[in-house]
Each structure stands twice: as C-alpha cells, then as structure tokens.
C-alpha cells in the first residue's frame, strides 16, 4: 500500500485499450520507486452490462475515497436503445456531479511535430498553448426542469440553463488561479446578448476579478464569436473560462486545432479534500470511438497525458508529469503516428500498444 490511491475506470470502446497503455506508464513509475495503489472498476456501458446501471453505488463510493480517478471513455451504439436514465453517459455525469468536480481543465497544446497535421495553417497553430476551463457540474447539463412531455398533441423537450453566483464564482477563481501560473490572461465566454444566465456569468466573473484578481487581464466574448476567434487566431488566448455546454463545444474545437482529438487530456477538479488535494477525475477529451475499438488504432496519448495531469494536480509530481509530456513529445518527434495522425510523409504508423511501448522506452531513457 502506498499513500497514492488511483481508481481506474476504463469504460467502453477504446477506453480499455488506451488505459492498458497508461498501465504500462504506471508500472514503469513503480519500478522507479513511485508506486500507486491502483484499483480498477467498471463505468458506462461496461457497468450497465454487469450491473444494469452505468455506475454502481460501490464504484461511486470508491471514487469519493481515492486521490484520483482515471477514466477512459463511455458510450457506444450498442447502448443507444437504453433508457436515458441508464445510458453510459449518465455514469460519467454522476461521477462529475457527486464528486462536485466543477472545474474541468482542457489544455490544447500543439506539439511541434504535429503542427503540419492540423487542418489550420501551421503558423496559426504552431506553439499553441491554451487552457479551456469548463464549468462541469451545472448549467444545462443538470438544470431543472428537464424532460420530454406532452403539450396538447405534440411533445416538448425541455432543458434549463441555470447558474448560481457561487457556481460561477468558484470556476472563475479556478481560471484566474491557473492564469497566474501561465500567461496571466483570462477570456470569459457566454451569450450575455441572449441569455440572462450569460449576463449573470459576465457580472460575476468581472466581480471576482475586480475583488480578488485585478492583476490578471480579463476580457469577455460571446461564445459564438469565441468559436470564430479560436479558429481565426487561437494564440490570442491563454485561459478561456466558460459554462458546461459552451465548454463542451469549444473544447472539441480547440482539440482539433492541435491535430487530433486523440491528443487531448483533461482534469476535472473539485474542492480540496482533508489531505489538501482536490477531488479529481482525469479523462481524455476524446470519446469511446466505437468505430475503431479493438483494432489497435486508438491513440493512447490523450489518456497518457491525462495521467500526467494526475501526477501534477493530484500527486504533487510535477517533474514526473514533465517527464511523461517530454516522452510523448519525443516519440512524436521520432515520427511515430497512430491511425488518427497518419498521412504525413516520413512518419511511421504504429499501433496503440506500440505507441505505449515507445513512450515507456523514452521514459526509461530519460
């Protein structure tokens, strides 16, 4: 037993494959005297198949106890027919909600070796390093009332965008704190031109700024204009803070700036626990990619970089996180490419497992 506990939830689709590669990294750290107390459990469709629920109460309880949860991906066409309440995604949303993981950090960094691969021009993305902070426990994902009901002779679908001042203020603080350690700039995105919740969002972010973070440069943008600016000149941004739904959209967009969704990690952080560390769940931004599951085509880098974020934010192992990130950079510089990144001349196609092995080999050589 060590004092570093980690719960691994591989989930569905490519989740188990990419997680197997993270296991290699964890094992390698074990050989270096940095051991983790790892347990593994089910989430999403895999949990539904075993227990009839996308997240068993025992798993939820375990997640509350560990230092960090590392999740692969959830969902797949097999589960499309399920009732909404037991869909794989509900398992993930329950974890986020009950662990109160309100700040979702989604960095979009363009590795030099991949700058040519982006669908945008190289000079637009080369050297890109932005951080999207997405509110993760409220907004339209969780607002009440919600549902589908009958009005007269037609059905009506309802979801509610709802934010309290304290929910906005705490995620704004996360963004300002991060900005101070980076480029010291925050851009807040909402739709204050059409949504009252957007007006409140803008006001509260400004208030928190003026009272607590006047040293950080703050700007506001409508989220649609933000999407446009992200593709026009993404390097104008440092930290972007936005709500749950806009964050979902904008982070997929930002991911693609870097070449592939298969590259992007995320950290979802809550309030500090008794040991001073935040409650935390780490997961790749990509989904379960059922179309390529089980074929060795998946890119394990997003999941491996998510583990690197765990090293940094949950285990105070910043140097080790740097090491993992450098190892990833090095294999990319060597030209190794999983299926999502193929196409460039002079690169070498590798499988999911070969990519994991190559990253471990770089670590061992570092």
The active-site residue, picked from 100, 116, 129, 224, is 224
Closest distance between ligand IPM and the C-beta of residue 100, in Å? Answer: 16
Answer yes or no: 252 catalytic: yes
The active-site residue, picked from 12, 48, 191, 297, is 191
* Cα separation of the two ends of the chain: 27
| Residue 167 within binding range of ligand IPM, rule CB under 6 A | no
| Residue 67 within binding range of Mg ion, rule CB under 5 A | no
Q: Which is nearer to ligand IPM, 66 or 255 (CB)?
A: 255
> Which of 34, 64, 89, 229 touches ligand IPM (CB under 6 A)?
89
Q: Directed axis angle between helix 352-365 and helix 15-31, to 10°?
A: 20
What residues contact 119, with CB distance under 8 A and at least 6 apart? 256
8 A C-beta contact, residue 185 and residue 238: yes
Task: Choose the contact partner of 98 out of ligand IPM, Mg ion, none; CB within 5 to 8 A by kind.
Answer: none
Task: Choose the contact partner of 89 out of Mg ion, ligand IPM, none; CB within 5 to 8 A by kind.
Answer: ligand IPM
Long-range contacts, stretch 28-35, CB < 8 angstroms, 24+ apart: 28/360, 28/363, 28/364, 29/320, 34/317, 34/320, 35/2, 35/4
Answer yes or no: 224 catalytic: yes
Answer yes or no: 141 catalytic: yes
Q: Which residues pair with 179 in a beta bridge?
A: none
Closest distance between ligand IPM and the C-beta of residue 225, in Å? Answer: 21
CA distance 41 to 163: 32
Size of the site for Mg ion (CB under 5 A): 1
Q: Which is nearer to Mg ion, 248 or 283 (CB)?
A: 248
Q: Which of residues 281-340 bind ligand IPM (CB under 6 A)?
A: 287
The active-site residue, picked from 41, 67, 238, 248, is 248
Q: Which is nearer to Mg ion, 238 or 248 (CB)?
A: 248
Closest distance between ligand IPM and the C-beta of residue 133, in Å? Answer: 14
8 A C-beta contact, residue 196 and residue 163: no
Q: Which of residues 206-265 bind Mg ion (CB under 5 A)?
A: 248
281: nearest Cα among 7, 1, 3: 7
Answer yes or no: 282 catalytic: no
| Residue 243 within binding range of ligand IPM, rule CB under 6 A | no
The active-site residue, picked from 141, 163, 282, 313, is 141
Q: Helix H segments across 129-260?
A: 165-180, 196-212, 223-232, 244-257
Q: Which is nearer to Mg ion, 15 or 356 (CB)?
A: 15
What residues contact 355, with CB distance under 8 A and at least 6 apart? 21, 299, 300, 301, 331, 336, 338
Determine whether 210 is exposed, middle or buried from the number of CB atoms within 10 Å of its CB (0-12, 13-18, 19+): exposed
Backbone angles phi, psi at 67, to 5 degrees: -70, -35
Closest distance between Mg ion and the C-beta of residue 248, in Å? Answer: 4
Determine whether 231 is exposed, middle or buried from the number of CB atoms within 10 Å of its CB (0-12, 13-18, 19+): middle
Helix (H) or strand (E) holding 145: strand 143-151
| Residue 248 within binding range of ligand IPM, rule CB under 6 A | yes
| Residue 92 within binding range of ligand IPM, rule CB under 6 A | yes
Closest distance between Mg ion and the C-beta of residue 51, in Å? Answer: 25
Could you list the residues that contact Mg ion (CB under 5 A)?
Answer: 248
Catalogue the active-site residues.
Answer: 141, 191, 224, 248, 252
Write out the residues near ligand IPM by the rule CB under 6 A: 75, 89, 92, 248, 287
């Amino acid at each position: 037993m060590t004092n570093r506990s980690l719960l691994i939830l591989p989930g569905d689709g490519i989740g188990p494959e990419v997680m197997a590669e993270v296991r290699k990294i964890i094992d390698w750290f074990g050989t270096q005297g940095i051991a983790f107390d790892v347990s593994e459990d089910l989430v999403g469709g895999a949990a539904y198949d075993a227990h009839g629920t996308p997240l068993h109460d025992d798993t939820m309880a375990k997640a509350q106890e560990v230092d960090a949860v590392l999740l692969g991906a959830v969902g797949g066409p097999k589960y499309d027919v399920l009732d909404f309440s037991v869909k794989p995604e509900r398992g993930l949303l329950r974890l986020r909600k009950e662990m109160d993981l309100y700040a979702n950090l989604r960095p979009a960094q363009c590795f030099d070796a991949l700058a040519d691969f982006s669908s945008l021009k190289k000079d637009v993305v080369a050297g890109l390093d932005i951080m999207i902070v997405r509110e993760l426990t409220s907004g339209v994902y969780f607002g009440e009332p919600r549902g589908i009901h009958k009005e007269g002779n037609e059905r009506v679908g309802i979801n509610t965008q709802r934010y309290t001042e304290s929910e906005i203020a705490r995620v704004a603080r996360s963004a300002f704190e991060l900005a101070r350690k980076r480029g010291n700039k925050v851009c807040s995105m909402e739709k204050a031109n059409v949504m009252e919740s957007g007006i409140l969002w803008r006001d509260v972010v400004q208030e928190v700024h003026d009272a607590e973070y006047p040293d950080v440069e703050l700007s506001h943008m409508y989220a649609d204009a933000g999407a446009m600016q992200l593709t026009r000149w993404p390097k104008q941004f440092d930290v972007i803070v936005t709500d749950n739904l806009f964050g979902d959209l904008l982070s997929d967009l930002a991911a693609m700036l870097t070449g592939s969704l298969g590259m992007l990690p995320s950290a979802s952080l809550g309030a500090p626990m008794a040991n001073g560390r935040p409650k935390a769940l780490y997961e790749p931004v990509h989904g379960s990619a059922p179309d390529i599951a089980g074929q060795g085509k998946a890119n394990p880098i997003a999941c491996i970089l998510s583990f690197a974020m765990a090293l940094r934010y949950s285990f105070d192992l910043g140097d080790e996180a740097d090491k993992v990130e450098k190892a990833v950079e090095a294999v990319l510089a060597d030209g190794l490419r999983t299926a999502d990144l193929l196409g460039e001349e002079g690169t070498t196609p590798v499988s999911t497992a070969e990519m994991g092995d190559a990253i471990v080999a770089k670590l061992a050589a570092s």
